[in-house]
Structure 1
Amino acid sequence: MIERINLIPDEIRSKKKAGQRRPLIVGFLIVYVILLGTVYYYQKTRVKGKLNTMETIRKEKDELMAQNARYREVIERITLTQQRENEIRKRLNVISAILDNRIYWSEILKNITHTVPDGVWLTSMSTYDLTNVVGKGVKFSGTAISNSGIAEFVFALENSRFFGNILLSYTQKRELNGRDLYDFEITADLKGAKK
């Protein structure tokens, strides 16, 4: 076998080897720059996508906040309307209670006018609160020509739909211009004066 002998000085040989390495280094640099550019472009695209996503999310958040403000306003209006409705209901309940407990005096007085017999005159009529039950009582004071007129009046009150628990408190005879008159007082519970 033959051995090769290199007669080229080491300096030239090292320059030649360095010259052979240069394209390899340049190739690595080109690949490195291309790879760096690719990574840069990829990262830039991802960052741009993330920024677009963030912008979309921010817009959605702003829309949701505006919508939330509108909903709050609507909820406040609904709450205010419900409060007004409750106030109106309370007022209507009070009015209904007043009307339910209302005594229609015009009907009662009309009935009394037809109930008082001839020869009996009422001098006063007053109301009072009943002690044992809720309701009103009526006290009639008057004068009659005879006790039978008073009895007829008591009977008419007992048959009236407006009065119950009729009680003749007293009857007293007195004389006026040579005639006998009978003063009386009758109490009764008011019962059906509502419509």
Structure 2
Amino acid sequence: MARINLLPWREQLRKERQRQFAVVTGAAAVLAALVVVYVHLHIGRLMDYQESRNRFLKDRIAELDRQIREIRDLESTKRKLLARMNVIQALQRSRPQIVHVFDELVRTVPDGVYLTAAELRGTVLTLRGVAQSNARVSDYMRRLDASDWFRDPRLEVIQAQAKGGRRHALFTLRVHTTSPQAEA
């Protein structure tokens, strides 16, 4: 039988397989490295994109917050201006009324009654004065009640005093002012 030495062929085949394994392993390692680099770059791009979106949203939120503050300031200014306008309109409407109130005060004061102070707060008029007697104060209250410009006179204080041999009464009364047009 003839002897053929197959050893170099087998060894050559083994070297070829090792070389193929090394090439495949190297290619797999390179491919894995490329995949890792691609994933890393892709994730980095996604993070940059998300960060830019977050910056955009923060900028928009800051702008909207600034606009909301401006709107609140404007609304506050509007409320203040409306309140001032209402006060001015109320004063404009009541301008002729105060003239009528003082005119009516002069008409209703009977002889023997002298007013020393008058104070108007809202619709309540506080009158202080001196009268020759309690009957004169009662007469004054009846006249105020009969007037179209006053209602509900109420005596707060009355004090009898004697000075220089004469008696007189110090009084304080409150009366509500009204407008004849408002009641009609």
1:106 match = 95
Determine if contact 2:124/2:176 at 8 Å carries over to the other structure. Answer: yes
2:126 match = 139
Determine if contact 1:117/1:153 at 8 Å carries over to the other structure. Answer: no
- Give the C-alpha shift of residue 187 in structure 1: 2.7
- Give the C-alpha shift of residue 108 in structure 1: 2.8
Q: Find out whether 1:48 has 2:34 as its counterpart.
A: yes
Q: Which has the higher helix share?
A: 2
Deviations 1:70-99 (A, max 9, x none): 211222232333344344445555666676
Determine if contact 2:127/2:174 at 8 Å carries over to the other structure. Answer: yes
Deviations 1:23-80 (A, max 9, x none): 2111211122122212212321232123122212211111111211121122223233
Aligned length: 157
TM-score normalised per structure 2 = 0.57
Residue identity matched to 2:146:
F
| Distance in structure 2 (CA, Å) of the matches to 1:53 and 1:139 | 88
Q: Quick one: which of 155, 165, 173 aligns to 2:146?
A: 155
| Distance in structure 2 (CA, Å) of the matches to 1:101 and 1:166 | 27
- Structure 2 regions of 5+ residues with no counterpart? 130-135, 159-170, 180-184
Tell which has more relative contact order, 1 or 2 (C-alpha 8 A, sep 6+).
1
Q: Structure 1 residues 81 and 190 mapped into 2: Cα distance closer, same or farther (>3 Å)?
A: farther
- Structure 1 regions of 5+ residues with no counterpart? 7-12, 129-134, 171-183
> 1:47-86 to 2 correspondence within 5 Å?
47-86=33-72
RMSD of the alignment, in Å? 4.6
| Distance in structure 1 (CA, Å) of the matches to 2:12 and 2:37 | 36
Residue identity matched to 2:66:
L
Q: Structure 1 residues 114 and 136 mapped into 2: Cα distance closer, same or farther (>3 Å)?
A: closer
% identical equivalent positions: 9
1:132 match = none
Q: Structure 1 residues 136 and 109 mapped into 2: Cα distance closer, same or farther (>3 Å)?
A: closer
1:127 match = 120
Deviations 1:122-155 (A, max 9, x none): 8864235xxxxxx66323568xxxx7x9554542
